[in-house]
Amino acid sequence: MASRCWRWWGWSAWPRTRPPPAGSTPSFRHHLSTQEKTPQICVVGSGPAGFYTAQHLLKRVETLCSQPRVLNSPALSQPLSQPHQLPPCSQQHPQAHVDIYEKQPVPFGLVRFGVAPDHPEVKNVINTFTQTAHSGRCAFWGNVEVGRDVTVPELREAYHAVVLSYGAEDHRALEIPGEELPGVCSARAFVGWYNGLPENRELEPDLSCDTAVILGQGNVALDVARILLTPPEHLERTDITKAALGVLRQSRVKTVWLVGRRGPLQVAFTIKELREMIQLPGARPILDPADFLGLQDKIKEVPRPRKRLTELLLRTATEKPGPEEAARRASASRAWGLRFFRSPQQVLPSPDGRRAAGVRLAVTRLEGVDEATRAVPTGDMEDLPCGLVLSSVGYKSRPVDPSVPFDSKLGVIPNVEGRVMDVPGLYCSGWVKRGPTGVIATTMTDSFLTGQMLLQDLKAGLLPSGPRPGYAAIQALLSSRGVRPVSFSDWEKLDAEEVARGQGTGKPREKLVDPQEMLRLLGH
């Protein structure tokens, strides 16, 4: 990995976390005698990164070694006067126990709250995660917010290793004038709204306008455009929330523009999502053939996936459709288009200044080649009228605890192959490790790598020695602070309730969106 100049998160910038009540922190010592002398591992986050990390640890740790290991490494980087031993591991004695902590009462993270409701096949991975959660050596604890209800140092004292896999919970700001106007929101919040993310359940986007502009040209941008333009009756059999479906039924949005700073060769969406948009019922594509001039020669040397994607764009923009497709487009009442070589400069207000009425765009051109290609302004400007602006320029992670180094510029925890720099026994996986890029399969590979690094350290005797209390100690802390964790069996009760509520309307489920209602249903 190339070396980076990491920028450490300043302690003074941290908001105060919820302090434990005075005298409420129980000693971990009395738990030690009751715990097995087996590796206790904690994973923070129950999305794909968290579950894939847990899966790899549970499957691989059984066959690490067959001899006792002598350890001189400390729990918190303090020297030990005498070496300690972890017990030998073997195929007959499964070693690790993994606890997964999640701030939401429900598991699965981005699979539940990020995957579009009309992509149910992508959510099938939940079946694999459920198998992991059912393992006798794995436990899920929802409704526990690390950094508020329990700190990372407390987790590190209770476990032999801690893996941070909590994803990217924030969006990148546009940092342009007018971004704060009503009618402007992040694509992340919009996705969370129609997928039932509790923090976004009261978003109430105003879809009374004719035109929406999405700033960004990635898969999330295409998801949002597709949901805005899909006939509501096509969403009735999905797990979209009842509230979102009601708003979409009343939507007056007829045209959606997706704006990008660079050109067709630099779009970030994939061919599957593009093909869905081109074939979207009741909608027609708007592509300017001028944007594709000379592209035929340029794509000859690009990698095959990019070549196939660009060829599809090229055909859609420049070739005359067949009679059937031409008739479909002619009858379409809605439209979507890609605006290339445009960079947002300002969200324009309505005459009364009360809401967004358009976006001022700088016309750009490309400089550089290959990965160094960047958009530079030409000096020309144009205004694009609209009533809704959705920014889809990227997600970003947040720092979770002042004890954990964080690069605020890159939005990641500084690490080497998942090992958090200068913090032994602390690891990271997924988007908080590498940034918000890739698909679920990318996260799987990334998480397996982090798991492998942890197992190598365990085998080499680099993790803290001696028994650790694991969840027994954390449970005492949470109880003393009035926090009621939600177990996986609790989640399965909520799951059954959602499925039952959906049956009446022919939906696979009707998602619960209020955490307090979830806890009431569980008797918490």
Phi, psi of 170 (to 5 degrees): -125, 170
Domain 173-393 listed as CATH 3.40.630.70: no
DSSP 364: E
389 is in an annotated binding site: no
Q: What is the mean pLDDT of residues 94-101?
A: 88
User: Strand 161-164 relative to strand 138-141: parallel, antiparallel, unpaired?
Assistant: unpaired
147 is in an annotated binding site: no
Q: What is the mean pLDDT of residues 9-18?
A: 33
Class of domain 40-59+91-169+397-522: alpha beta
440 is in an annotated binding site: yes
**So what's the pLDDT on residue 337?**
98
Q: What is the mean pLDDT of residues 378-399?
A: 96
Answer yes or no: is pLDDT of 519 > 90. Answer: yes
**So what's the pLDDT on residue 340?**
98
Non-local (6+) Cβ contacts of 480 within 8 A are 20, 21, 24, 25, 26
CA distance linking residue 59 with residue 469, whole number of Å:
22
Q: What is the mean pLDDT of residues 7-26?
A: 36
106 is in an annotated binding site: no
Q: What share of the chain in percent tops pLDDT 90? A: 80
Q: What share of the chain in percent tops pLDDT 70? A: 86
155 is in an annotated binding site: no
Sign, CA dihedral 279-283-287-289, equals positive
CA distance linking residue 221 with residue 213, whole number of Å:
10
**So what's the pLDDT on residue 369?**
82
Answer yes or no: is pLDDT of 125 > 90. Answer: yes
CA distance linking residue 444 with residue 446, whole number of Å:
5
Quick one: which H or E segment has residue 278?
helix 271-278
Tokens of 393: 């320029």
110 is in an annotated binding site: yes
CA distance linking residue 197 with residue 189, whole number of Å:
9
Q: How many CB atoms lie within 10 A of CB 217?
A: 24
Answer yes or no: is pLDDT of 253 > 80. Answer: yes
24-60 pLDDT tens trace: 444 444 343 334 468 999 999 999 999 999 999 998 7
CA distance linking residue 39 with residue 69, whole number of Å:
13
Answer yes or no: is pLDDT of 8 > 50. Answer: no
**So what's the pLDDT on residue 89?**
39
CA distance linking residue 218 with residue 209, whole number of Å:
23
Given phi > 0 = left and psi -120 to 50 = alpha, else beta, which region is 335?
A: beta
Which sequence spans correspond to the domains of the chain?
40-59+91-169+397-522, 173-393
Q: What is the mean pLDDT of residues 486-497?
A: 98
CA distance linking residue 168 with residue 163, whole number of Å:
15
504 is in an annotated binding site: no
Q: What is the mean pLDDT of residues 465-489?
A: 96
Confidence of residue 464 (pLDDT cuts 50, 70, 90): confident
As a three-state string, the secondary structure of 58-90 is HHHHHHCCCCCEEECCCCCCCCCCCCEEECCCE
Label residue 409 exposed, middle or buried (CB < 10 Å: 0-12, 13-18, 19+): exposed
**So what's the pLDDT on residue 61?**
61
Is the model more confident about 257 or about 20?
Answer: 257
**So what's the pLDDT on residue 277?**
98
Phi, psi of 171 (to 5 degrees): -120, 155
Answer yes or no: is pLDDT of 18 > 60. Answer: no
267-318 pLDDT tens trace: 999 999 999 999 999 999 999 999 999 898 889 889 999 999 999 999 999 9
Could you tell me which of 118, 121, 112 has the C-alpha nearest to residue 50? 112
Sign, CA dihedral 130-455-445-144, equals positive
Answer yes or no: is pLDDT of 72 > 50. Answer: no
137-184 pLDDT tens trace: 999 999 999 999 999 999 999 999 999 999 998 889 999 999 999 999
Could you tell me which of 377, 348, 360, 428 has the C-alpha nearest to residue 50? 428
Label residue 81 exposed, middle or buried (CB < 10 Å: 0-12, 13-18, 19+): exposed
214 is in an annotated binding site: no
**So what's the pLDDT on residue 438?**
86
Q: What is the mean pLDDT of residues 407-421?
A: 95
412 is in an annotated binding site: no
332-384 pLDDT tens trace: 999 999 999 999 999 999 999 999 999 999 999 999 887 788 999 999 999 99
Q: How far is CA 452 from the centre of its chain?
A: 22
369 is in an annotated binding site: no
100 is in an annotated binding site: no
Q: b/e per residue, 398-407, with b = 16+ CB within 10 A?
A: ebbbbbbbbb
CA distance linking residue 122 with residue 114, whole number of Å:
11
Label residue 170 exposed, middle or buried (CB < 10 Å: 0-12, 13-18, 19+): middle
262 is in an annotated binding site: yes
273 is in an annotated binding site: yes
**So what's the pLDDT on residue 437?**
87
Cβ atoms 358, 331 nearer than 8 A: no
Q: What is the mean pLDDT of the chain?
A: 88
